[in-house]
Structure 1
Amino acid sequence: MTKPLLTINDMSITFTSPDEADIEAVRQVDLTLTPGKTLALVGESGCGKSVTARAVLRLLDKNAKIPTGEILFDTGSGAVDIAKLKSDSLAMRALRGAEISMIFQEPMSSLSPVHTIGDQVDEIIILHDRLNKKQARERTVSLLDQVGVPGARDRANAYPFELSGGLRQRAMIAMALACTPKLLIADEPTTALDVTTQAQILDLLRQLQDDFGMAMLFITHDLGVVAEIADDIAVMYLGDVVEQGDVFDVFRAPKHPYTQALMNSVPRLMRKAERQRLTPIKGTVPSPKDRPVGCAFTSRCPHAFAPCPTVRPERTQIGADHVARCHLLTHVREEAMA
């Protein structure tokens, strides 16, 4: 068994609202990432995917806290509990960018508009690897060339607004890989791109992962992308991981009603005579303020029954690496044993 690189145990994240009440955005999440593997975190907007990822880098808002759980990261010389580190501590700054990097969702708002692409990549290299300006620029040009930026040396002197969306995203990837991190977090890195550029970026990420042997936490709501790039999948709903496991097992036999609903809402190619209407998920994701006491999916689940609104379901083991939180699984198992 490969030793886990990142292990999240029983992690919850709360935000303090203006009325000083704590709102639970993420509830008792358990995730594991191993070197060289990709874990996809999927779900609708507002389900807690980005908040979970930002907690790993301690980039949460000032009114956020991690009241329970641990985020264990293997540095090679021992495990560090990131949940106990302050966001501005020297220990956290040493990890951020060097050991753990992130590709943010929208490069135009994540890159500085008043600094060139080269200067922004140079800064990370100088900070973590202690190279001089000339050495850092040579590595920057090499990285930009490696991620497929044409005319890398000239592009290094360009500002973000002078580049296309695809080139800005490639520059963000180069910045994230500047110090060869062990863990790369990609927060919907292809959402704003056309399908051709999206395919190129996914191929690039797979190739770079093979080259560097890094683990990747890939956040998306596109199940087609998940099928193409992920080894494992965790499905989130309203801050809960409702189902997780090997991507093929989950896609072949989804057990949680929310995962099933996501799969059923994906458009499919059909002959004209076979065409059917899409099956959308009725309703919307509730606000964390209105979180049900029991199963988070209760208000939208077509199979909800007596215990769902009031009792949170336990994790049920379905296969060796496949688990789900659903009262239906427990109910069916109890009936089979009766």
Structure 2
Amino acid sequence: MAASPIVTITDMSISFTSPDEADIEAVRQVDLTLTPGKTLALVGESGCGKSVTARAVLRLLDRNADIRTGKILFDGAGGAVDIARLKPDSEAMRAIRGAQISMIFQEPMSSLSPVHTIGDQIDEIIILHERLNPKQARQRTIEVLDQVGVPGAKDRANAYPFELSGGLRQRAMIAMALACTPRLLIADEPTTALDVTTQAQILDLLRQLQDDYGMAMLFITHDLGVVAEIADEIAVMYLGDVVEQGDVHDVFRQPRHPYTQALMNSVPRLSRKADRVRLSPIKGNVPSPRDRPQGCAFTSRCPYAFEPCAGIAPARTVLGPDHIARCHLLEQVQTKELA
């Protein structure tokens, strides 16, 4: 029997308001399901809406951002709660944030306080959510630092962020996110600034911690190699739209959307060196959200674009069990197959 989802995002659209410009739609009609023990990778180029989508789950959006439509249903202890309807500073949201849903941010040096020790910052979260006294909280802090592989955890708890290496700062961020054993962990490009050896260690650590806690994980990245290593499912975003989504093995084996295919073709491969095959970059640039195309957002860069693409937004095409894509070409192929 399949486990019930921890968070279900349905038809979520997010816009940013500006006093001197029209509203900018950053995320459009996103559907995601986050299940215990599973990792969903959110993939795409910079500026496609990955981090905005993740921050919406914790209501950490900028003041000028608004969840215009859709639901973010969280399966809480007292029943389903629509996070999209909660106020960011409400007591209900504060009870979820950090305790039930936690986030590892992309750059720990800008996310950790430079004037407080690592231990003090983790202690604060534990005291707030677990109602422990300072001595008990510090003991828990040392335990979780040790669990994420920080050597000499007791001494490191008294260190400031600038006294730690990049890899140790990232482990401290993971410890902070896991201090209250959350049910959902959001990892926003947690390995981007790390060398490949440390990156592999962090990925191994996250997989092990997921096995230990049985938590769901939303992993945001632009690195398809990392996706292949850690994800169970993948959602490919382009200009705020999820253009393809499905089981990671199905999507990698047979990518169906032209954007997903282009991402795959742009990845360097060892076999290409011997064959002297050039990389295949995606031509053109991502359009500005201020000038979003009326139809398919990928039209200007798509080698298969035809008449309907520029004027009509594509609907979801079901390609198999849990595999969907938004593309007029796929709609046309499917229509011919059914005829």
Residues 99 and 271 of structure 1, relative CA distance in 2, 3 Å threshold: closer
- 2:254 is matched with 253
- 1:10 is matched with 11
- 1:208 is matched with 209
Q: Which runs of 5+ in 2 are unaligned?
A: none
Report deviation, 1:17: 1.7
- 1:86 is matched with 87
The secondary structure found in structure 2 opposite 1:21 is strand
Report deviation, 1:331: 1.1
Give distance in 2, aligned partners of 1:318 and 1:141: 48
Letter aligned with residue 331 of structure 1: Q
Give the TM-score, by structure 1 length. 0.99
Please, what is the CA RMSD of the aligned residues? 0.9
Query: What does 1:161-310 align with in structure 2 at a 5 Å threshold?
Result: 161-270=162-271, 272-310=273-311
Letter aligned with residue 326 of structure 2: R
- 1:39 is matched with 40
- 1:25 is matched with 26
Report deviation, 1:337: 3.8
Letter aligned with residue 224 of structure 1: G
Give the TM-score, by structure 2 length. 0.98
- 1:63 is matched with 64
Asked if the contact 2:8–2:72 (Cα under 8 Å) also holds between the matched residues in 1, the reply is yes
Give distance in 2, aligned partners of 1:275 and 1:294: 37
Report deviation, 1:158: 0.4
The secondary structure found in structure 1 opposite 2:284 is coil
Count of matched residue positions in the alignment of Structure 1 and Structure 2: 338
- 1:311 is matched with 312
Report deviation, 1:20: 4.8
Q: Which runs of 5+ in 1 are unaligned?
A: none
Give distance in 2, aligned partners of 1:206 and 1:273: 34
Aligned residues with identical type, % of pairs: 83
Give distance in 2, aligned partners of 1:272 and 1:294: 38
Report deviation, 1:285: 1.1
Give distance in 1, aligned partners of 2:314 and 2:122: 46
Report deviation, 1:77: 2.8
Asked if the contact 2:272–2:278 (Cα under 8 Å) also holds between the matched residues in 1, the reply is no
Letter aligned with residue 309 of structure 2: C
Mapped pair 1:97 → 2:98: yes
Report deviation, 1:271: 6.6
Give distance in 1, aligned partners of 2:337 and 2:74: 41
- 1:134 is matched with 135
